[in-house]
Structure 1
């Protein structure tokens, strides 16, 4: 029922400058894969085969990453490195489209750019900054809710009150298996937050959202916020929430990104033992000083 995923990747990545001056933030590696690949693999696991990337300037590396690399493939073949060849050819049966966002006008505008490609189908939106533990599929849970309710579904996570100003925050009520949303607020101050349930980077949206994005005026920052469009959409249809049960890694800022690398390195069968020994040595050295 849901065949398409939209991946907004047009952001400037200023938190990681100078590394992102000419290279996309989404191509930052976590062990041996870039952030954007984890997002695509997450969608593939729930059967999605069509991907729309909303790109911007200096994002060509993302397109190249999902394209054929003939010279590299021939070198791997001649060297008998078929395991590596399989790793870089794992996207051959998928369809990718790349749409340029003319200027960075917010997440809402990025999603609006996908309208000609999405047409009249429901679609998934994945923000690669929010890396979900690959052993847990929040998208699978969200799709089950969508199939039952035939309405938009957004992923939610409980955050501390001092963090609510970083997120879109919802209010509503918990029921058996899902959350019924009755309001959404973009980045409220803690004293004004309707709850501590934050919207994280996974959405199932219907084409209805485009009308609300088109009619939305830019906010104070000059950006079109998806949360504001969802709030408008609430007047037309119910929106449901799915509270995640697995772990989310915030790779959108430096400390969170470093924590993500450590966590994924500890899960990597090839290097985890050696990495643990390295960490023990470093901690021992720090303690001795």
Structure 2
């Protein structure tokens, strides 16, 4: 089964303005480059997590101003991966960014899509590999989410879970940025889904007519209502870098771990 990665990086990053480059290229921590210690852009941790999951074909969704991302990653040769770039012409949100990939995916065969946010960190760095393993082992599973304990319930997609006696975790509800704390301490932060859900997402978006921006968590909720089964794998933690406060916490966490959040 073919596997593809999606890195949505078309956002304007206004919460970090005035930043002279793409927020996904913000250096947090270090990497070894040609035998020397060099800065590591935050998005590279997600790229490396996809590589660990054997996701070698990756789509970057960017806007026309984010040429620094293309200049750094190029065609993926340095990472032994294949990178493609799609332009989101208007800032219409995350779901619209994901839809840019649909025309470039196989039409007559099943595939997997791996999704993550390129301005975040998560542990373990093998989490995407675990998600892929779980969805491949479960014929009736359409989506598997990486979920993480969090106190920032008002900013994330809070995810209610049901766990059976064998340790299998199923998602029963998702509420994006709730106004009151729900009865769960977990939020989702990464995902793997089958081609069936990509088709559902594409069709659902075409029929969506509300004024509010459609968020991915809402599509997951609708998928559950339509009989899709969503599993979950619990991660250790999830760090966003989209605001000054979150970025400061990520840098502190990085420094506490010796500068290599992903164990490079």
Same fold (TM over 0.5): yes
Please name the residue that 1:81 is paired with.
none
After the TM superposition, list the runs of 4 or more consecutive aligned residues in structure 1 that deviate by more than 6 angstroms.
none
Please name the residue that 1:121 is paired with.
111
TM-score (norm 1): 0.75
Please name the residue that 1:137 is paired with.
126
Listed as ranges, the matches of 1:222-237 within 5 Å are: 223-234=213-224, 235-237=226-228
* Structure with greater Cα Rg: 1
Whether the 8 Å CA contact 2:42–2:120 is kept in 1: the answer is no
Post-superposition CA distance 1:23-63 (Å, at most 9, x none)? 21101111311111111111111211111011113211111
Give the number of the structure whose residues are more often helix, by fraction.
Answer: 1
Gaps of at least 5 residues in structure 2 are 30-38
Q: Secondary structure at the match of 1:6?
A: strand
Q: Secondary structure at the match of 1:144?
A: helix
Post-superposition CA distance 1:128-179 (Å, at most 9, x none)? 222124x64111221221112142101112223xx32211122241233432
Gaps of at least 5 residues in structure 1 are 69-87, 271-289
Please name the residue that 1:41 is paired with.
48
TM-score (norm 2): 0.82
Listed as ranges, the matches of 1:245-256 within 5 Å are: 246-256=236-246
Counterpart-to-counterpart distance in 2, 1:209 and 1:269: 37
1:238 is aligned, of 190, 209, 229, to 229
Q: Secondary structure at the match of 1:164?
A: coil
Matched, 1:181 2:171: yes
Counterpart-to-counterpart distance in 1, 2:156 and 2:114: 19
Post-superposition CA distance 1:88-122 (Å, at most 9, x none)? 9732x311110111212121111111112233411
Whether the 8 Å CA contact 1:130–1:251 is kept in 2: the answer is yes
Counterpart-to-counterpart distance in 2, 1:38 and 1:60: 19
Listed as ranges, the matches of 1:84-233 within 5 Å are: 90-91=78-79, 93-119=80-106, 120-133=110-123, 136-150=125-139, 151-160=142-151, 163-175=152-164, 176-190=166-180, 193-200=182-189, 202-210=190-198, 211-216=200-205, 217=208, 220-221=211-212, 223-233=213-223
Deviation at 1:249, TM superposition (A): 2.2
Alpha-carbon RMSD: 2.4
Please name the residue that 2:24 is paired with.
26
Give the number of the structure whose residues are more often strand, by fraction.
Answer: 2
Aligned residue pairs total 241
Whether the 8 Å CA contact 2:53–2:129 is kept in 1: the answer is yes
If asked which structure has higher relative contact order (CA below 8 Å, sep 6+), I would say 2
Q: Secondary structure at the match of 1:256?
A: helix
Whether the 8 Å CA contact 2:8–2:60 is kept in 1: the answer is yes
CA 1:229–1:104 in 2, change beyond 3 Å: closer, same or farther?
Answer: same
Counterpart-to-counterpart distance in 2, 1:262 and 1:2: 38
Whether the 8 Å CA contact 1:6–1:125 is kept in 2: the answer is yes
